[in-house]
Amino acid sequence: MSTNAAYRRAAAKINPRLSPTSLTKIANEMEMSMLPPNVPRSVYDIPQSVRTNPFVLRDATTGKSTHPYHGEGGGRWGGWDDDIAMKNPGAVVRSIGTSRRVFLLDSSLTPGEIDGLAYRVRVMSNNDAINSVLIGNPIEDAMTDGDMSDNPTVLPGFMEEDDPGRRFDPPGGAYRGRPDFVRSVLHEGYGEGLGVPIVACGYDARDVYDSGMSSDRGRLDEYLLSPLTRLSDAIRGVGRHDDVVVGGGGGGGGGGIRTSKVPVISPHGLVMDSGYALLLGSYVLATHSTSFRILNPLRGLSFDPIGLTYLLPRVGREFRQPSAYHSVAIASMMALSGYEADARDMVATGLATHYVGGQYKTNLLERALMDVNSYEYQSLHPKPTGLYGREDDWRGVEDINVHFRNVAVANLIQHVSEYDAAGADEYGVHLGDMLDDETGLYLRDNDPSINLPGERIQMYGELESDLVNYAATFVDAFDEPTVPGILERLREIASTRSTYEGKLGYEEDVEVADVAHSLVTGMEKRSPLALCVSNRLLRMGAEEDETMESCMERERRSQANLFTRAGGDYARWARSGCGVGLVGMPFGSSSLIKEREDVFNDWVHGNVGEVTEDEVDEIIG
């Protein structure tokens, strides 16, 4: 019997009323037994220096780093003689009761870290002895007045960067990035200018060029694009049998798809481009500081292979939301203009599943998950038991509790949420149902003679989303099949501002013209070729016969062609030293001092009208 099977058999006999500490120990042992031989067992230990040094996991016997996808001569970028980062997940994994908490150590991950994180998420999401995997970055904790050092369930200051060169300093070379701009990236419109660190932007596109990876298609595909796809699959809970050994099964061959057991929960944060792979979990929790942007066209790139060309044209469908009627316009606004979808936009379109309001609620959720039974012991009916003297053999019998598992986790998330994408608030009452017309409040009892003011429950009514409203307004413009056509229609709308400006009753028309102008401005800053490729990918992904896998394969092929295009827009951007217009905090300065990155504009094509259909066909393949 394998070690893994032995653990499972032993765990099946354990009383589920054991203390959280005992259950945590058992869960750790079971999870580590799933790892292949020679993989380090120290993933649960957080070194004191984790804030300033890379979180390196080494083989205890050889002292070298190992990786399930690592080939000979790989290195961090597939070229450097450096195996360390190939085993580094770029995150700290902690056992918190019967749940797992994943803390991202930086907003961008190296390709090896992306692969390492994908592997660990897949292992954890198939662990019977836990109830969930929570990927998060709490900035504050209401229970400790914001002092995270007193909170035993979080990693203090893990988003701080005391050493700006710790991540991409090649052997024998100086840090090649911009150390005056790496301490933090700030959300321009948040709060009073203090800003919020970006949670995930995927990878550093400039380092891909500096390392030489972009000139080698084989390395690019193996060490960056394929890991991104694996991370997307791992967070979604699907994957090939040969990617990881789960449930004591064999690893070789296969290629089938299996679904994970426990949900992956993605809390709040600012997310860009391929970082959205971390928001493909079972539940995506949005707070007031959550937003999502697509900025790759400002780098001369298109979609990373995580499935956005399948998801964006289908927003609103999963939860039957009104946004589904304008899904193509929503997808085009976000992908072509870089429109920043905030928390309300994300919930209204289904890009996030729940709105939880304050960030402190994620900490409340974390504590509550500690007391939820593991997947194995979430049951309504007792397991069939073999009795002495009876020949009943229950082995191989279908799990009679399969329909009751993960319900407790779902109820917890619903309880801490103000409302979800399906339109239900924390009380489970669907928005718009049984609301008092005068106050907009939900009444427990509709009889006014006995209904007291204190028995009114605050409701939020229909969720308002600027993104959905703008998409409905500009739906005709974004119905144009080509980027030049879209731009022409938007310019026509923007030109009406002078007609309505200053006239009473035409304030909305002026606002519409201003928004159209901002969309045009955003599109004109981007690579014309990348815009045309992105538009074509969205149109193709919107076809009914498309699948997530077919769209991801098309994204991977197109992105590889844009990366490796000699003298193309991406190479020009990478050599320029320009950024994508984000607002940052210079290293070592006060967070109130902000600087804006320069935006590159010397593209191969002067405008989208110069891009030919043949060029787009060549990129998409």
Which pLDDT band holds residue 604 (cuts at 50, 70, 90)?
Answer: very high
DSSP helix/strand/coil, 523: helix
pTM score, whole prediction: 0.75
DSSP helix/strand/coil, 525: coil
Which pLDDT band holds residue 617 (cuts at 50, 70, 90)?
Answer: very high
Q: Is the pLDDT of residue 562 over 70?
A: yes
Give the end-to-end CA distance of the chain in Å, rounded to a whole number: 49
- The residue ranking higher by pLDDT, 116 or 267, is 116
pLDDT value at residue 109: 82
Q: Is the pLDDT of residue 557 over 90?
A: yes
Q: Is the pLDDT of residue 180 over 80?
A: no
pLDDT value at residue 88: 64
* pLDDT tens digits along 391-435: 555 555 666 677 778 888 888 888 888 888 887 655 555 555 555
Alpha-carbon span 605 to 407, nearest angstrom: 53
The mean pLDDT value for 502-519 works out to: 91
Q: Tell me which of 128-132, 452-456, 538-542 is least confident.
A: 452-456
* pLDDT tens digits along 427-472: 555 555 555 566 555 554 555 555 555 444 444 555 688 999 999 9
Q: Is the pLDDT of residue 608 over 80?
A: yes
Inter-residue contact 119 to 251 (CB < 8 Å): no
pLDDT value at residue 311: 95
* pLDDT tens digits along 156-165: 333 333 333 3
Q: Tell me which of 82-96, 178-192, 209-223, 256-270 is least confident.
A: 178-192
Q: Tell me which of 49-53, 267-271, 411-415 is least confident.
A: 49-53
DSSP helix/strand/coil, 476: helix
132 phi and psi angles, rounded to 5 deg: -170, 165
Q: Is the pLDDT of residue 540 over 80?
A: yes
pLDDT value at residue 42: 34
The mean pLDDT value for 81-100 works out to: 62
DSSP helix/strand/coil, 505: coil
Q: H or E stretch including 207?
A: helix 205-210
pLDDT value at residue 466: 92
Q: Which of 72-86, 212-226, 348-362 is modeled with the greatest confidence?
A: 212-226
Provide the mean pLDDT of the chain: 71
Closest to 272 measured CA to CA, from 327, 204, 209:
204
Q: Tell me which of 184-188, 387-391, 458-462 is least confident.
A: 184-188
Q: Tell me which of 22-31, 37-46, 345-354, 597-606 is least confident.
A: 37-46
Angle between helices 327-337 and 483-494 (to 10 degrees): 90
- The residue ranking higher by pLDDT, 247 or 548, is 548
393 phi and psi angles, rounded to 5 deg: -115, 110
Q: Which of 93-97, 197-201, 327-331 is modeled with the greatest confidence?
A: 327-331
Alpha-carbon span 332 to 224, nearest angstrom: 26
The mean pLDDT value for 213-239 works out to: 89
- The residue ranking higher by pLDDT, 66 or 449, is 449
370 phi and psi angles, rounded to 5 deg: -60, -30
Distances (CA, A) of 120 to 16, 31, 43, 167: 25, 10, 10, 20
Q: Is the pLDDT of residue 41 over 50?
A: no
Q: Is the pLDDT of residue 312 over 90?
A: yes
The mean pLDDT value for 316-329 works out to: 92
Q: Is the pLDDT of residue 267 over 80?
A: no
The mean pLDDT value for 528-552 works out to: 96
Strand runs labelled E in 110-261? 132-136, 184-186, 198-200
The mean pLDDT value for 530-545 works out to: 96
Which pLDDT band holds residue 381 (cuts at 50, 70, 90)?
Answer: low
